[in-house]
Structure 1
Amino acid sequence: MKFMIQNIDSIIARILSGESSSDDYLAFSEWLQEDEKNRKEFCQLKDYWDAEVAYSNHIGREVELKRLQKRIRKEESKKRNRRFWVRTAPVAAAITLVLMISSLLFLKTNSTEQPIEYFTYIAGDHSSNFTLADGSKVTLNKNSKLTYTNQFGKKLRDVALTGEAFFEVTKNPSKVFEVKMNNASIKVLGTKFNVKASSKNEIVATLVEGSIRFESGEQKVQLSPSQQLTFNGENRKLQVQNVETESYTAWKDGLVKYKSCSLQEVITSLASRYNTKIIIESSRFKDVVVSGAFSSEQSVEEALNVISRSLPVKWSKEKNIYYIR
């Protein structure tokens, strides 16, 4: 911690000039959360820095930061009774998550300020686990994002999701927990469910226990355990079916599971997962029912090897296309 305090000016300078590393973000996040004074100090520095486009090749970034700090201290000594806008850029971080700073403008009056701080978790190449302020647990799938504000838990418990996440929501009858995505939302009081909001404007929600309420415009559906909802935001088509939930939640344990699925369904899923093309050449194998599991860390070749050991098939690759024969 002493090291971080001694070098915080250098870290802030690198962050403001866009030359920071992941270690800088981790140290910066800890410094921000240590004290409210630190957050206010950074808000002021960022406001001046952005306004003056401070850094140039002729003036060292740390020298420029010192100049701004001196100017801020000088102006703070003056009494000003007017409204002005400042930026705030708080950071919420977890060791296993990739960090991102979210900024929002807020109005500051003579004696009262109520900033809305945005906390954003972004999972990189691996899924990540964290706990929200109300005790609810979230497992965020890779390449997914969850955002909430410092108002979370005061009246409502609302978060915004892009990608996929598994929620274990702490029960609180007086405060609804809401997941917002793609002009739709899922509302719960306390439950376990998985939800995926794809870039294709499709939402898939799978309920493990408890109940959830899906809402999009005038469309409202309540799900029971082991039910799955699929919603297409483009044509507004909504479908509910019973499923084996384990197949849709295994990813949080580092697995990809299939139970009583046709080989074609498995191959289609693998092709989507690995963003590649896989063709089953023999139609008589497409409807073969299979069950199994892969590690989410396995490559597409390793997954196809598992299939070829379980069924009388072989695979080959030609011009970036996989063929199952």
Structure 2
Amino acid sequence: MESINMPNIEPIIHNFLQGKSTPDEDKILYLWVKENPENRKTLFQEKDFWEASRLGTQKLNEAEFNHWFELQDKIIQQNKKVNRLKEVLRTAAIVILSLGAGWLGHSLVSSGVFANKQIEMKQVESFNGQLKEIFLADGTHVWLNSGSKLSFPSGFNAENREVELSGEAFFEVTANEEEPFLVKTQDHIVKVTGTRFNISEYPESNIIETTLEEGRVKIITGNFIKDLYPGQQSSFNTRTAEIRIGETDLEVYTTWKDGFYEFNNESVCKVFKIIERWWDVKIDYPEKDLKDERITGTLRRHKPLDQHFDVIKRLVPFNYKIESDLVTVSLK
């Protein structure tokens, strides 16, 4: 097959991104993408710039979104960064990857800096059944767990480099000693100058956990300020205002972003909460009877839900029934 030149492919890319391409054009585009890995990079790059230019748009039109998935499913997924990614990150906060239970999608949060250079607060929500990766305007990389929200400014400056979190997120913060990065939760502030760390603060829990993998952060709660070092975790009880800091197993608190959750002597009730968020189901279970039960194991997002329940019920004897998005658990 003859190589397809960029001048000829540009109109097809343009039509495809608008959802107006014909089946023949889709075939040409697919063959062009397969021909060279660089072509795939170009397509994703053009898609990012095209989306970013759609001022005020929060998501693609449903038809266009489905159109994108149809072609994307045919392309071998690669986790390579595009050449002009840094250029995009200077001007927009982009959600580059959304991982749900069995599906793959792309979405973009458009930035107010395109329109009027003013700083605006944006929000990304990772619904139950989803994991999302986000690049903020300063290059900070964020993994957002299921059932979580992240609010952030469309641009960063010396006076404005802070985000607000509800739920759980893993941060890889771009180093900047002169402009610290702040993560605010309802009762907590984490001050960062460049590091990798995890924060868990779900509304139904009264515990805020900050786990540091690399670098150093400051935990700020009222008048309490404490440095956290690699391998340490702070645990703040929002009811009693008690703070505990100690060594911890990093894998237990950070591997969820890679698609599996390790737990060691964990409450069955907490494991059920994680399952509800990750698989977007409701679990009806006798909480009073199971509140003292603790288990050790691993949840894997790519495994079917019933396989996990088959394993858990070997550790804690119970019966279960899965009907659509409802799991009913009863004691034997």
Q: If the length of structure 1 is used for normalisation, what is the TM-score?
A: 0.59
User: How far apart, CA to CA, are the structure 2 residues paired with 1:161 and 1:148?
Assistant: 9
Matched-pair identity in %: 27
Partner of 1:241: 246
Counterparts of 1:82-231 in structure 2 under 5 Å? 93-94=95-96, 96=98, 115-124=118-127, 125-200=129-204, 202-231=207-236
Partner of 2:329: 322
Stretches of structure 1 that go unaligned for 5 or more consecutive residues are 8-26, 44-89, 104-112
User: How far apart, CA to CA, are the structure 2 residues paired with 1:6 and 1:297?
Assistant: 32
Relative contact order higher in (CA < 8 Å, ≥ 6 apart): 2
Amino acid paired to 2:238: G
**Distance change in 2, residues 1:143/1:101 (3 Å):** farther
- Deviation string for 1:101-156 (max 9, x for gaps)? 899xxxxxxxxx76222232222331111322333211111222222213414445
User: How far apart, CA to CA, are the structure 1 residues paired with 2:330 and 2:181?
Assistant: 45
User: How far apart, CA to CA, are the structure 2 residues paired with 1:167 and 1:5?
Assistant: 31
User: How far apart, CA to CA, are the structure 2 residues paired with 1:323 and 1:251?
Assistant: 28
Residues 122 and 152 in structure 2, CA contact (< 8 A), matched pair in contact too: yes
- Deviation string for 1:44-63 (max 9, x for gaps)? xxxxxxxxxxxxxxxxxxxx
User: How far apart, CA to CA, are the structure 2 residues paired with 1:225 and 1:6?
Assistant: 47
Residues 198 and 253 in structure 2, CA contact (< 8 A), matched pair in contact too: yes
1:256 aligns with 2:256: no
Q: If the length of structure 2 is used for normalisation, what is the TM-score?
A: 0.58
- Deviation string for 1:163-192 (max 9, x for gaps)? 111011222211201111114210011111
**Secondary structure in structure 2 of the residue aligned to 1:303:** helix
Q: Quick check: which has more Rg, 1 or 2?
A: 1
User: How far apart, CA to CA, are the structure 2 residues paired with 1:295 and 1:175?
Assistant: 37
Counterparts of 1:6-45 in structure 2 under 5 Å? 33-34=52-53, 39=55
Stretches of structure 2 that go unaligned for 5 or more consecutive residues are 1-12, 20-45, 58-91, 99-105, 277-281
Partner of 2:6: none
User: How far apart, CA to CA, are the structure 1 residues paired with 2:287 and 2:241?
Assistant: 32
Residues 91 and 118 in structure 1, CA contact (< 8 A), matched pair in contact too: no
Residues 52 and 110 in structure 2, CA contact (< 8 A), matched pair in contact too: no
**Distance change in 2, residues 1:324/1:224 (3 Å):** farther
Partner of 1:267: 268
User: How far apart, CA to CA, are the structure 2 residues paired with 1:139 and 1:324?
Assistant: 36
Counterparts of 1:36-55 in structure 2 under 5 Å? 39=55
Aligned-CA RMSD value: 4.0
Residues 316 and 324 in structure 1, CA contact (< 8 A), matched pair in contact too: yes
Residues 280 and 324 in structure 1, CA contact (< 8 A), matched pair in contact too: no
Amino acid paired to 1:245: L
Amino acid paired to 2:273: S
**Secondary structure in structure 2 of the residue aligned to 1:187:** strand
Residues 137 and 154 in structure 2, CA contact (< 8 A), matched pair in contact too: no
Partner of 1:276: 283
- The size of the alignment, in residue pairs, is 240
Residues 168 and 198 in structure 2, CA contact (< 8 A), matched pair in contact too: yes
Amino acid paired to 2:203: S
**Secondary structure in structure 1 of the residue aligned to 2:176:** coil
- Deviation string for 1:212-248 (max 9, x for gaps)? 1111221222222222222233432322232212111
**Distance change in 2, residues 1:298/1:245 (3 Å):** same
**Distance change in 2, residues 1:215/1:91 (3 Å):** closer
Partner of 1:77: none
**Secondary structure in structure 2 of the residue aligned to 1:222:** strand
